Chains A and B, each alone.
Chain A
Amino acid sequence: MNYQTSIGLEVHVQLLTRSKLFCGCSTQFGSSPNSQTCPVCLGLPGVLPSINKKAVERTILTALALGCKVSPFSRFARKNYYYPDLPKNFQISQYDEPLAKDGYLEFELDGKHRRVRIQRVHLEEDAGKIIHGEDIQNPEDKDSSFIDYNRTGIPLMEIVSYPEIHSPEEAYQYLVNLKRVLGYLEVSDCNMEEGSLRCDANISLAPKGARLGVKTELKNMNSFKEIREGLSSEIERQAALLDKGEKVPQETRLWDPHEQATIPMRGKEEAHDYRYFPEPDLLPLKVSQEWIRSVKEAVVELPFHRYQRFISQYHLPVYDASVLTDSRELADYFEECVRNFLHPKVVSNWIMGEFLRLVKKETESLRKIKMKPFMLAHLLEEVQKGVISGKLAKEVFQKMFKSGRPAEEIIRQEKLGQISNEKELEEIIQRVMMQNSKAVDDFKKGKDKALIFLVGQVMRETKGRANPDLVNRLLKEKMGVRE
């Protein structure tokens, strides 16, 4: 049977702040276990949280970029459950009064415009990490588990979509585009390997036109690819059940990437009662209109808008526009180039080809690249004028990319493309002598300066590529001087 699939995504993103959400501890990834903890994030008796304003600001910024309404008054709540990675045995989160709600994310799917509504954006604290003895080298530790609290208290932003995503591919595109937005806003590095972006999914199937079916919650998907795979597998599983006339039990399931299947984790009966209640240790979060206004100023042009603009303004193909707007730095780089060299498609070809190939190879952040956009523009200009051949340009480009030196300097110093072929030069010299017979006469009469003039003319004809020593010698020979 044909079912309507409804997927809702819950994305958790670690915010890029220097310190944790409720204390001053560093958020640096990869430090030695428990080196970034204090009484507050360890939840010791007597401690109290105090809110990190930067984290609130980044959440507001994201909410605004996603078209959400930012609540002038929101509240933190305690989510109570026992787990050793949660030192207080409750997580400070937000419940019925989130920081922002009712937004949307726009993107394209198979050339069609999509707009998935966002239910809420809220702020909460991350939990620690449990390391089991069997994963540690020391055999004595085999039966024990260890807890690293460095991650405890790092600010997490939760972005919850409505169940309006209808296919695994659409879920994938939603995530790619959400990640782009977060990258543009510089609120998170969205690194799934380091756990700075995590995603759970709700998924249900129902006959077309019917109301939402019974949903399962899907966890443990560790990349966008796994999310696509997990959702596909879960859709198949649910469809098979429904086809047989069976009911889909409401439960939480885990994606097992080795088995390429979802496995049950806990049923509805075992679902937690989190006993949410307002966090009494924090005052309600008040966000003034002025604050919202000042944060709004930091909202940059968003990737989807930029993508559309690249197509309409620069007449770029869809694919080019998508690649070039993947990150803000890349799109900025492209536009800066185009400002200096008005042939967008040429620039795009270079950036998507040679440029990105080197970026990937050098694995450098775009910001650190020494070759500035105007340098690339200048190089392309020279190629277009025919001053530099395409083949030579590639060579120059590589050197520019690595060193950040301008093209002319590289060409001159490294004698790239220098004409040292006597035959080739003789033709030009012949022509120059014919066109400047007065200077030739002057030289013959003993005016040495005329020689300098003639060399200059040859250099001009060759756009500076002639080997000057050779030109000197050949000119003198032609004018009857022997050394």
Chain B
Amino acid sequence: MNLYRLPAYELHQLIQDREISIQELTRSIFQRIEELEDKIKAFLSLDIEGAMEQARRLDRKLSQGKKLGSLGGIPIAVKDNICLKGKRTTCGSRILEDFRPPYSATVAQRLKEADAIIIGKTNMDEFAMGSSTENSVFQVTRNPWNLGSIPGGSSGGSAAAVASGETVMALGSDTGGSIRQPASFCGVVGLKPTYGRVSRYGLVAFASSLDQIGPITRDVRDCALLLGVLNGRDELDSTSLDYPVPSYLEYLVPDLKDMRIGLPREYFVPGMSHEVREAIVQATGVLEKLGAKVEEVSLPHTEYAIATYYLIATAEASSNLARYDGVGYGLRTRGKTNLIEMYKKSRQEGFGEEVKRRIMLGTYVLSKGYYEDYYGKAGRVRTLVRQDFEEVFQSYDAVVTPASPTVAFKIGEKVDDPLKMYLSDIFTISANLAGIPGISVPCGYSQEGLPIGLQILAKAFDETTLLRIAYAYEQSTNWHKSKPEDLKL
């Protein structure tokens, strides 16, 4: 039995039934990492010692007849922009290469309380800025379905690790699609929760009003399971809302009777891959068969989403990243110099191209004389984008779209063309602007065998509907059962 193949809830059952030990499972995951990591390069750091120690502790707990938490013994990988006390947290950046936070993120705390086993930190685009994970200064992660392709980004390491069986589950973060897009490129499930659903405390900020942490998993049930652990009000995050937390698993039923689903016409754009379009059309057929009524709807401000996003996200980023100045922690330029030079050189040496580009754009956007035209206007368009969704959700339970206009592209293909790269997030960005939840589930493969993702969006705090549709769809298809090895790996 290849343990790394199984979803968390099955593994959890095997552990409860004492069919397997947690140490056995953890060891098998590390073995899998050892076999594949040279090719995939999903991890920036591993915590073998800490994970095995936790596995031993949990096995002991079980043998004493004690109950484990809902993720008892499940290996999980964490994106490297989520703080773990004493563990390197680099954000894929030179500037934080040796940074070890003295505290843990709230989500890490919750994973610990649920008895999960954190096995390591995954690769990402520097400060989560990117769509291919090529902006990591440390390594390029490869798509397990085709090692010549990117895994998507910025949570590319997490998505690739789940897809290749290097972990059972993973945490990603999503500012403009950074969970959903890599999930779709790697043929796994990725969910961006409603803004305010999951605490951001301990997530190194990119764009504070857009960032959310969320699960990347093998299937929808695992996704619901993990979201249930992560979510809920946190006193340390003022923007995390005190909203009722449903037990998501109860909503996973394999039918969509009386569901009304919108298909926004603005999401079928020129330049979109034919295969992706086909896969989505077929998926809507499946949804209809399950009892849902699928109709075309309109989200008229969609075309402004990308521009709006790049103004808001960069403005916030320019301020959030100001703290990396070489003073208290992180990279400081060598040699004696004065204060201003130290700032300049440390940041010059510590940040990569894309990060610098966005800091400059964001600084400009907030400057005197430009603020109103850019940041101010972007804020107003953001409201319009949100209202588009609110309008549609008055008559529809959810909206389905492609997760990305294409499948995973080749490594190096878009590195030199930031605008092209930005367009790969064109379908995911609106959900961040509107603060609504979105999920990507596998819905087919391109001819060359690369996964395609179906994105489902629902109204704020309606993750139950999202998961229910995703689950019903998944259960009536076989896409999620395919694994990279069956194809090329």
Question: A residues within 8 Å of B by Cβ?
Answer: 39, 42-51, 78, 80, 82, 84, 87-90, 143, 147, 273, 275-277, 280-283
Interface stretch of the complex, out of B234-242, B245-253, B458-466, B476-484: B234-242
Task: Kindly list chain B residues whose C-beta atoms are within 8 Å of the C-beta of A80.
Answer: 318-319, 322, 366
Chain A residue nearest in CB terms to B363: A275
Task: Kindly list chain A residues whose C-beta atoms are within 8 Å of the C-beta of B81.
Answer: 46
Kindly state the separation between the CA atoms of A50 and B322 in the bound complex, as whole angstroms.
20
Chain A residue nearest in CB terms to B96: A45
Q: Is the CB of B105 within 8 A of A82?
A: no
Task: Contacts A88-B323, A275-B319 given; indicate if A283 touches B239 (C-beta within 8 A).
Answer: yes
Task: Contacts A82-B343, A273-B368, A275-B363 given; indicate if A46 touches B101 (C-beta within 8 A).
Answer: yes
Q: Is the CB of B205 within 8 A of A46?
A: yes
Task: Kindly list chain A residues whose C-beta atoms are within 8 Å of the C-beta of B315.
Answer: 277
Tell yes or no: B244 within 8 A of A by CB. no
Chain A residue nearest in CB terms to B368: A273
A257–chain B nearest beta-carbon distance, Å: 26
Q: Is the CB of A82 within 8 A of B237?
A: no
Tell yes or no: B327 within 8 A of A by CB. yes
Q: Is the CB of B325 within 8 A of A82?
A: yes
Tell yes or no: B200 within 8 A of A by CB. yes
Say whether chain A's binding surface is mostly helix, strand, loop, or mixed. Answer: loop
Q: Is the CB of B238 within 8 A of A45?
A: no
Kindly state the separation between the CA atoms of A276 and B368 in the bound complex, as whole angstroms.
9
B78–chain A nearest beta-carbon distance, Å: 12
Selected A-B contacts with CB under 8 Å, 11 pairs = A44-B102, A44-B103, A45-B99, A46-B202, A47-B103, A48-B200, A50-B235, A50-B237, A90-B319, A275-B318, A276-B366
Q: Is the CB of A147 within 8 A of B235?
A: no
Q: Which of B64-108 contact A (CB under 8 A)?
A: 81-83, 89, 91, 96, 99, 101-103, 105
Q: Within the complex, which residue of A39, A78, A275 is in contact with B103, where a contact is CB–CB below 8 Å?
A: A39
Task: Kindly list chain B residues whose C-beta atoms are within 8 Å of the C-beta of A88.
Answer: 322-323
Task: Contacts A82-B343, A275-B363, A275-B367 given; indicate if A45 touches B83 (C-beta within 8 A).
Answer: yes
Q: Is the CB of B208 within 8 A of A87?
A: no
Kindly state the separation between the CA atoms of A273 and B101 in the bound complex, as whole angstroms.
31
Kindly state the separation between the CA atoms of A147 and B328 in the bound complex, as whole angstroms.
9
Task: Kindly list chain A residues whose C-beta atoms are within 8 Å of the C-beta of B201.
Answer: 46-48
Task: Contacts A39-B102, A45-B101, A46-B204 given; indicate if A89 touches B325 (C-beta within 8 A).
Answer: yes
Task: Contacts A87-B327, A88-B322 given; indicate if A46 touches B83 (C-beta within 8 A).
Answer: yes
Q: Is the CB of A277 within 8 A of B375?
A: yes
Q: Within the complex, which residue of B83, B200, B319, B327 is in contact with A277, where a contact is CB–CB below 8 Å?
A: B319
Chain B residue nearest in CB terms to A39: B103
Which 7 pairs from chain A and chain B are nearest by CB? A89-B322, A275-B366, A280-B208, A280-B209, A45-B204, A46-B202, A46-B83
Kindly state the separation between the CA atoms of A129 and B59 in the bound complex, as whole angstroms.
50
Tell yes or no: B203 within 8 A of A by CB. yes
Most A CB contacts (10 A, CB to CB) among B81, B205, B319, B363 go to: B319
Task: Contacts A277-B371, A281-B238 given; indicate if A90 touches B99 (C-beta within 8 A).
Answer: no
Q: Is the CB of A282 within 8 A of B238?
A: yes
B338–chain A nearest beta-carbon distance, Å: 11
Kindly state the separation between the CA atoms of A39 and B89 in the bound complex, as whole angstroms.
14
Tell yes or no: B339 within 8 A of A by CB. yes
Task: Kindly list chain A residues whose C-beta atoms are within 8 Å of the C-beta of B371.
Answer: 275-277
B204–chain A nearest beta-carbon distance, Å: 4
Q: Is the CB of A39 within 8 A of B101?
A: yes
Q: Is the CB of B327 within 8 A of A84?
A: yes
Q: Is the CB of A43 within 8 A of B323?
A: yes
Kindly state the separation between the CA atoms of A84 and B327 in the bound complex, as whole angstroms.
7
Q: Is the CB of A273 within 8 A of B329?
A: no
Kindly state the separation between the CA atoms of A178 and B131 in the bound complex, as whole angstroms.
55
B290–chain A nearest beta-carbon distance, Å: 39
Q: Is the CB of A50 within 8 A of B319?
A: no
Kindly state the separation between the CA atoms of A365 and B339 in the bound complex, as whole angstroms.
44
Task: Kindly list chain A residues whose C-beta atoms are within 8 Å of the C-beta of B205.
Answer: 45-46, 281
Task: Contacts A280-B209, A281-B239 given; indicate if A42 touches B322 (C-beta within 8 A).
Answer: no
Q: Within the complex, which residue of A43, A46, A78, A283 is in contact with B238, where a contact is CB–CB below 8 Å?
A: A283
Task: Kindly list chain B residues whose C-beta atoms are within 8 Å of the C-beta of A48.
Answer: 200-201, 236-239
Task: Contacts A46-B204, A50-B238, A280-B208 given; indicate if A90 touches B322 (C-beta within 8 A).
Answer: yes
Chain A residue nearest in CB terms to B330: A45
Task: Contacts A45-B101, A280-B316 given; indicate if A82 touches B322 (C-beta within 8 A).
Answer: yes
Q: Is the CB of A50 within 8 A of B323?
A: no
Task: Kindly list chain A residues whose C-beta atoms are within 8 Å of the C-beta of B236.
Answer: 48, 50
